[in-house]
Structure 1
Amino acid sequence: MKKFVGLDLLRFCLAVYLTVFHTIREYPQNVDLPLIDLTNLGGFATSTFFILSGFILSHVYFGGTAQLRGGARGFFVKRLSNLYPVHLVSLAMLLVVSAAGTRALDTFSLMSLDDGDSVVTLGNAQAAINFVLNVLLLQVWNPLYASINPASWSLSTLLFFYIVFPVVAPGLLRARHKERLLVVLWVLYLIPPVVATSMHWYGPAAVGVITRNPVMRLPEFLAGILLFGMYQQSQFAHFCNHWRRVCLALIFITGSFVAGAWLESQGDLYPRYIIHNGGLMPAELLLVVVCTNVAIPSRFETICVRLGNSALSIFAIHVPVFLLMMKALKLLSIGQSPLWCMSNFAACISASKHVVPSMATYPVYLVVTVVAAMYFQERLLVPIRSLLRTRFLGNASQESTSVTTERGSR
């Protein structure tokens, strides 16, 4: 089975970008960084992840066949054994880090595009229900309250995609005129954000539905399935083998990304839904197409695959790693010994709240996150996944090709 090493590298780069998107603004010094606005387009990376998911799932589970490889039961066991351990372990890490700090798990920021964000604290019953929804990866169906682990909303969306994949993929892959269907999907995808913008639906519930609801984001996943069908029919071969066309595609992708980032950061309110949902879809699709044909030297293939396989783990653990590292940096910066902090814990925590870590530590955080995610993936998640697949599928559980299970941002 063909390996798309270029897509593995793309997955890794998108995961690192999303990590930066979620964390760099926690440093007050970020406002002085050049080109900081280019880090403000998390929706581009998340959408590309969803397209990649449809593409690679189609490659792994259909390829040149007309039927789902391994059957529906095998598909769901393999996908859920890949998704839930990542989610549950990263959620447990976040709970531990939060318990050791001051992060409240019942307090959420409700995002509004017109009136600014507001903070709400849930009652005991609401907080308990929200926690159960988070554990079950169903929290994304509530448009108001964000995930306890911010990254996991996209895992919840992926769970929905997995449910619909065996139903919709065969028909899409058999369809004639896939390029026309792709255009239809794009138009359908743009309708909700255009309507919401025209009606000025900018409140928290509308933002939650438009930007995170799995049904609203489904066209991206379906587009990835169609894109693989087009690739399978060699519709991109002439394009990818012509370097001038590839250069023009890269210029278009870069221009779209820069324009989207500028509009998201500096532009008016009205294009933001459209930028987030569908406005950049042609560039996202082109990016996947270009990366399917990226040639990686054989000596770098193994590390690229490892980095790609760690992409989901990077996204899942980057928040607890960030919280832990920020707390450690603050404690080290107050000028007190660890022994003093252990005996005067409350005073130490109070003093550390006013410390602002240096921006010079940020590259260290990114490196630590990547290395930790690789070990997290290979030493913890892979054994858990293998155990679950052996338990429910027996010896047929081993999968020869890794499947992306990417996660998003906003």
Structure 2
Amino acid sequence: MTTPIRAAVSQASADNIQPLTSLRFFAAVWVILYSYWSALEGAIPIGIIEKGYLGVDLFFILSGFILSHVYMTSLGEGRFRYGSFIVNRLARVYPLHLATLCFAILLWGAATLKGISVDKNLVNWPSLPAHLFLVQAWGLAPEASFNHPSWSISAEWFAYLLFPVFGTVAWSMRARPWLAVGLSVTFLVSLYMIFEAFMGFKLTSATVFWGALRIVPTFMLGCALYLVWRSGKLAPQVALMGAAASSLIVIAAASWLKIDALIVPMLGLMLLCVSRFGNGGVMGNRVLVYLGEVSFAMYMVYVPWKWVYLNVMGIVLGTGDAPLPLLWWVVGLIAIVPVAMLGHHIVELPMRNVVRHLGDRLRYRLAYRLAR
């Protein structure tokens, strides 16, 4: 007889595609390298690093894929519980977001007391309500402020709220998965072209003011790619490894040519190939999987840590705002991992359980009152 606990463990194991968990770590590193590169003394332009901001779009594709993997079948079969889904999603992202938001305010306060000059947008009080309600990427925050990478968490929240729409549309095309992918890529490329024509800049460069729109085509692509994975109609693993390598080559080449509309779909292809590598391969390595699990914390702490580290090293080395020598730059980069581990184990995991517990109690109370 299967106990509820064993059933939950089995479901968690089935839902965990370890190579994609590991891929999250590489996506986070890509974004962090992009942000830190200018702080390196003697840094030269490297195309693939200059495109590191697209690591966020890879996260968005991953999000659409994984949420479809976990929830799409229940959505299609009428077993989906929107309330539970929203609570679980909020528990996943909000505690660390709130912690880094508070830390950014504390940094600003400490720097102000010490007379240290800080970015005028580090704290923008009119933007605080939007950050508290996770709507800062919906065009509702007057400035990019506090912990800036949190704009993407706001965009994710937008996609979470609309997941039943994304999932239902994708489910209706489950018998034609490659058509779903083709339509998603067509929509993505078209939206990129139209947006740039009207706005004068790339949608892949949007953060606070258009972040909610930026996630739509990539999240949709992730849902469509899941349909292909679900169908099992993929090439043998050797061919998939070749396709993944080829996609990386195309991504590198497109980075030099600055063609985001080509890079993002190729990121999706690479993700699809990696998803079929199996949990026992290189991408299923326990260390990489663990780093993938702390990748969200890495992404959320890297800007506050960068601000602290660069200012401290500027004082210690007497270089001020000048870029760091290679050794100290590498030390600061590597140190993000243990800082993220602390955030993951002290804030993210325990508070995730607290939010879920509070959400469950709220739902039970509402259900009880409605039943009376």
Q: TM-score range by the shorter chain?
A: 0.7 to 0.9
Alignment match of 2:215 (pick from 217, 237, 247): 217
Q: Who is 2:271 aligned against?
A: 288
Note the alpha carbon deviations across 1:129-181, whole angstroms, 9 max, x for none. 22322232222122973343221111111010000102331331232322212
Structure number with the higher helix fraction is 2
Q: CA 1:172–1:356 in structure 2 vs 1: closer, same or farther (change >3 Å)? A: closer
The residue type paired with residue 135 of structure 1 is L
Q: CA 1:159–1:105 in structure 2 vs 1: closer, same or farther (change >3 Å)? A: farther
Gaps of 5+ in 2: 1-10, 365-372
The answer to whether the Cα contact below 8 Å between 1:153 and 1:212 also exists between their aligned partners in 2 is: no
Alignment match of 2:150 (pick from 126, 149, 152): 152
Task: Tell me if 1:137 matches 2:147.
Answer: no
Structure showing greater relative contact order (alpha-carbon pairs closer than 8 Å, 6 or more residues apart): 1
Q: Who is 2:337 aligned against?
A: 370
Counterpart Cα distance in 1 of 2:143 and 2:38 = 21
The answer to whether the Cα contact below 8 Å between 1:90 and 1:317 also exists between their aligned partners in 2 is: yes
Note the alpha carbon deviations across 1:342-381, whole angstroms, 9 max, x for none. xxxxxxxxxx635543221122122210121122112221
Note the alpha carbon deviations across 1:218-275, whole angstroms, 9 max, x for none. 0210121121122111122xx1x2514531x1343122211222123xxxxxxxxxx3
The answer to whether the Cα contact below 8 Å between 2:40 and 2:326 also exists between their aligned partners in 1 is: yes
Q: Who is 2:180 aligned against?
A: 181
The residue type paired with residue 179 of structure 1 is W
Q: CA 1:86–1:68 in structure 2 vs 1: closer, same or farther (change >3 Å)? A: farther
Q: CA 1:226–1:204 in structure 2 vs 1: closer, same or farther (change >3 Å)? A: closer
Counterpart Cα distance in 2 of 1:289 and 1:376 = 30
Matched position secondary structure for 1:30 = coil
Task: Tell me if 1:5 matches 2:5.
Answer: no
Matched position secondary structure for 1:29 = coil
Q: CA 1:185–1:165 in structure 2 vs 1: closer, same or farther (change >3 Å)? A: same
Q: CA 1:215–1:68 in structure 2 vs 1: closer, same or farther (change >3 Å)? A: farther
Counterpart Cα distance in 2 of 1:197 and 1:392 = 41
RMSD of the alignment, in Å? 3.1
Alignment match of 1:279 (pick from 262, 271, 274): 262
The answer to whether the Cα contact below 8 Å between 2:28 and 2:298 also exists between their aligned partners in 1 is: yes
Q: Who is 2:39 aligned against?
A: 26
The answer to whether the Cα contact below 8 Å between 2:65 and 2:225 also exists between their aligned partners in 1 is: yes
Q: TM (normalized to structure 2)?
A: 0.82
Task: Tell me if 1:102 matches 2:109.
Answer: no
Q: CA 1:65–1:187 in structure 2 vs 1: closer, same or farther (change >3 Å)? A: closer
The answer to whether the Cα contact below 8 Å between 2:247 and 2:269 also exists between their aligned partners in 1 is: yes
Deviation at 1:203, TM superposition (A): 6.2
Q: Who is 1:305 aligned against?
A: 289
Q: Who is 1:321 aligned against?
A: 305
Alignment match of 1:246 (pick from 241, 244, 248): 241
The residue type paired with residue 352 of structure 2 is R
Map 1:341-380 → 2, pairs under 5 A: 353=320, 356-380=323-347
Counterpart Cα distance in 1 of 2:176 and 2:202 = 39
Q: TM (normalized to structure 1)?
A: 0.75
The answer to whether the Cα contact below 8 Å between 2:97 and 2:150 also exists between their aligned partners in 1 is: yes
Deviation at 1:296, TM superposition (A): 4.9
Counterpart Cα distance in 2 of 1:284 and 1:222 = 14
Matched position secondary structure for 1:85 = helix
| Greater shift in the superposed pair: 75-84 or 128-137 | 128-137
The residue type paired with residue 262 of structure 1 is W
Number of residue pairs matched? 343
Counterpart Cα distance in 2 of 1:68 and 1:76 = 16
Counterpart Cα distance in 2 of 1:189 and 1:280 = 11
Counterpart Cα distance in 1 of 2:43 and 2:239 = 37
Gaps of 5+ in 1: 109-126, 265-274, 335-351, 398-410
Q: CA 1:190–1:211 in structure 2 vs 1: closer, same or farther (change >3 Å)? A: farther
Counterpart Cα distance in 2 of 1:187 and 1:206 = 16
